[in-house]
Structure 1
Amino acid sequence: MTDECLSRPAPSQHRFLWPVMATLLIFSWSSGFIGIRYVSQEASVMLVLFWRTLVSGLILLPFALAIDPRPRLRAIAGQMLFGVMSVFLYLGGFALAIEQRVPTGLVALISDLLPLAIAALSQPVLGERLSARQWLGTAIAVTGVLIVSIDSLSFGAAPVWAYGVTVGSMLVFAFASVLHKRQRMGHMPVHQSLCIHTLTASVLFGICATMQGDLAPPLTRGFAIGITWLVLVATFAAYSIYYTSLRLFPVAQVSAAIYLSPPVTMLWAWALFSEPLTTAMFAGLAVTLVGVWLTSRS
């Protein structure tokens, strides 16, 4: 997909479709953080992520084998490496932070800084220069995250290292994305690449879960509901709505909707899990959104 295709104005026939798509995108995007928070009450996050990635990969496997030509071994190996970084380390790090009770909204906020981190890493790795406005926007966005983080530290519910894991996970995915772009791997349909990512990560999550106990899922209603939610809503629905939106609407418009997921996540976490909401959190969120707007606007 070309940049011109991504940035073209939305056709008039899709004008009334956007509010529906944006609502579904924000809902499904934020649901992943809430789903992890919910099901982590039933089992360790490694066991949760093992079953989430395994079930997702097995559902996608027949489609990956039957639709489109089978990819070459080199392409598969490249996608497996990307899966280690983008699913195992990235998703595992965020899930571990949520398990350690880092505020779920803050985890979502740091996660949505991924495009800014990719832009910043593109200069040393890809030689793509950022404008002064983009650097200013990045600095403002990071300041907003620090405001929310410092306020969250005052609650004392999570160890300091868990906050570092959250930031590190986001940076790992950003670095993996930049390397993936530099290597210019051949195009692979999303159902094939996502299948490879999830199955690769499931092996690693399975090893981690085995070290903590066994791979048997808890036979509870909460665990079943949580895994179903994570697979159908946070994985399949979120990806499908995201890529469909990119085909129909400008990329900046779609990105703006995703940046609204942290406040929605904060509200969900407050309503479902009684996680605190403070004025500093919303102030930091507002500062971050200003920085993101400065960096991403055309």
Structure 2
Amino acid sequence: MSLSSGWVRSMPVVFVLIWSTGFIVARYGMPQSPPLKFLALRFALALLCFGAWARVARSAWPVGGRQWRHLAVTGVFMHAGYLGGVWAAVKLGMGAGLVALLVGLQPVLTAVWVASRGGQVAGRQWAGLALGFGGLALVVWHKLGHGEVDAQNLVLALLALASITIGTLYQKRYLQPCAVPTANCVQNLAALLVTLPLALLLETEAIRLNADFIGAMAWSVLVLTLGGSSLLYLMIQRGAATAVTSLLYLVPPTTALMAWALFGEPITVFTLAGTALTAFGVALVVRPPATTKRSTP
């Protein structure tokens, strides 16, 4: 199926908008369900959907036990750890905009890791690191005494940040190219096997099966999991994945605007200043280096 050039160019922007709604869905769904039970059901439904996709597309399954293990590890970090930390932090009172700001520092932590392993990190990236953490500190410090941030939900949000960073680095280091639906089957299965026992052990609150819960779950599975993964797959095939990286720093302000419009989460001067600093810092980190053109002899 051929796609119009306009739609191909808009894919990165649509993907970032979808990614931003993940934090909004967490805020929207939390009154209806404890976080781990919601996520366990989400992983189970996503597993069924990706399984059906793999069957229809006749996708090849990963070859060898090592690739299955690597996929399982990334599933635990990038799904169970990341989403579990985000949803639990929101459940405990942290706003969607602040959670997005915290986990939006993932490219900055990746740059620090590259530097610690002897990689090349430009001076502007170190400047971005300082600005990113400075902006985050400004927002968090301002919210500490106002009921939104406490030690517990801050630790959970930082757990989400660490999980998505570790999972991304692990995936880049160990995973071989494989079919999207089958890879997601393995990752969601691993996340389910970790999340479900914890949900049954730690959460006593029942799920409220109402229209809000069904809407949040449908959006999580169909739009965020299936839609987001499909878009990313198409962009990688067309070489547009780098455009997504360059736009990811827009996720926190986009989420903050959505949370303000939908839930009345306040946007103060401190929030605006800190978000702008962090976004600019992450932009410096993810911006590709300038290429030097050679003159023709």
Output the TM-score relative to the length of structure 1.
0.86
SS of residue paired to 2:265: coil
Q: 2:248 aligns with which of 251, 254, 258?
A: 258
Change (3 A) 1:187 1:26: closer
Instruction: State percent identity of aligned pairs.
Output: 27
Quote the residue 1:141 is aligned against: 132
Q: 2:73 aligns with which of 71, 81, 84?
A: 81
* Alignment map for 1:22-171 (pairs within 5 Å): 22-64=12-54, 66-125=58-117, 127-171=118-162
* Paired letter, 1:156: G
Q: Give the Cα–Cα distance (whole angstroms) in 1 for the partners of residues 125 and 28 of structure 2.
A: 36
> Does the CA contact (< 8 Å) of 1:14 and 1:248 recur in 2?
no
* Paired letter, 2:40: F
Number of residues of Structure 1 aligned to a counterpart in Structure 2: 284
Give, in angstroms, the shift of residue 157 of structure 1.
2.8
> Does the CA contact (< 8 Å) of 1:21 and 1:241 recur in 2?
yes
Q: Give the Cα–Cα distance (whole angstroms) in 2 for the partners of residues 14 and 141 of structure 1.
A: 36
* Alignment map for 1:210-289 (pairs within 5 Å): 210-212=200-202, 217-248=207-238, 250-289=240-279
Q: Give the Cα–Cα distance (whole angstroms) in 1 for the partners of residues 206 and 179 of structure 2.
A: 32
> Does the CA contact (< 8 Å) of 1:252 and 1:297 recur in 2?
no
Change (3 A) 1:63 1:110: same
Change (3 A) 1:77 1:215: farther
Give, in angstroms, the shift of residue 204 of structure 1.
1.8
Q: Give the Cα–Cα distance (whole angstroms) in 1 for the partners of residues 214 and 86 of structure 2.
A: 21
Q: Give the Cα–Cα distance (whole angstroms) in 2 for the partners of residues 272 and 259 of structure 1.
A: 21
* Paired letter, 2:187: H
Deviations 1:104-142 (A, max 9, x none): 1111122222122112112334x3231222112111111
> Does the CA contact (< 8 Å) of 1:246 and 1:254 recur in 2?
no
Q: Give the Cα–Cα distance (whole angstroms) in 2 for the partners of residues 248 and 70 of structure 1.
A: 23
Q: 1:208 aligns with which of 198, 216, 221?
A: 198
Quote the residue 2:295 is aligned against: none
The runs of 4+ residues in structure 1 deviating greater than 6 Å are: none
Deviations 1:245-265 (A, max 9, x none): 344465443223332121121
Change (3 A) 1:70 1:256: closer
Give, in angstroms, the shift of residue 225 of structure 1.
1.0
SS of residue paired to 1:260: helix
Q: Give the Cα–Cα distance (whole angstroms) in 1 for the partners of residues 98 and 232 of structure 2.
A: 22
Output the TM-score relative to the length of structure 2.
0.86
> Does the CA contact (< 8 Å) of 1:121 and 1:174 recur in 2?
no
Give, in angstroms, the shift of residue 214 of structure 1.
6.9
- Higher mean displacement: 99-108 or 207-216: 207-216
Change (3 A) 1:162 1:218: same
What's the RMSD between the two structures over aligned residues? 2.3
Q: Give the Cα–Cα distance (whole angstroms) in 2 for the partners of residues 215 and 52 of structure 1.
A: 17
> Does the CA contact (< 8 Å) of 1:206 and 1:215 recur in 2?
no
- Higher mean displacement: 247-256 or 191-200: 247-256
> Does the CA contact (< 8 Å) of 1:140 and 1:287 recur in 2?
yes
> Does the CA contact (< 8 Å) of 2:26 and 2:90 recur in 1?
yes
